[in-house]
Amino acid sequence: MEPTALSFSSLVNRLKLLGATVVTSPPAPEGWVWLFGMNKGTFPLSKGPMYPIKARTGTEIIPGRMISKILKRLDLDLSQQSQFWNIEEHTQYQAASSTR
């Protein structure tokens, strides 16, 4: 599957859904987010692959190629990567109502 760009919040939420550990500051340095791969430990006892990424606004777009590199760095196997890309996100739309 061709990687597609996602918003930063979408990237983080999808990783959390798969069971990855996402650590914001503190204890990560100010302005950074640590992404830990699929492990059984809890922070700060997390072991295994880690990817530091600068904190961004939730709507900032992360390129698909960068996301693919993050998934590989976190040692997600092909099945887990497929699950990551197949997560469907739903947005809640509010109907505009006029009350005059």
- The DSSP-derived string for 44-98 is TS--S-EEEEE---TT-EE-HHHHHHHHHHTT--HHHHHHHHH------------
Of 3.30.720, 3.30.920, 3.40.50, 1.10.10, the CATH number of 6-86 is 3.30.920
Per-residue pLDDT of the chain (100 residues; tens, 9 = 90+): 578 899 999 999 999 998 888 888 787 888 889 888 876 555 565 566 888 899 999 999 999 999 999 999 998 889 999 999 998 876 655 555 545 5
Q: In this structure, what are the phi and psi dihedrals at residue 53, rounded to the nearest 5 degrees?
A: -140, 140
**Helix, strand, or coil (residue 51):** strand
| Domain range summary for the chain, segments of one domain joined by + | 6-86
Cα–Cα separations (whole angstroms), residue 22 to 87, 92, 93:
18, 24, 27
Q: Does pTM top 0.95 for this prediction?
A: no
Confidence (pLDDT) at 9: 93
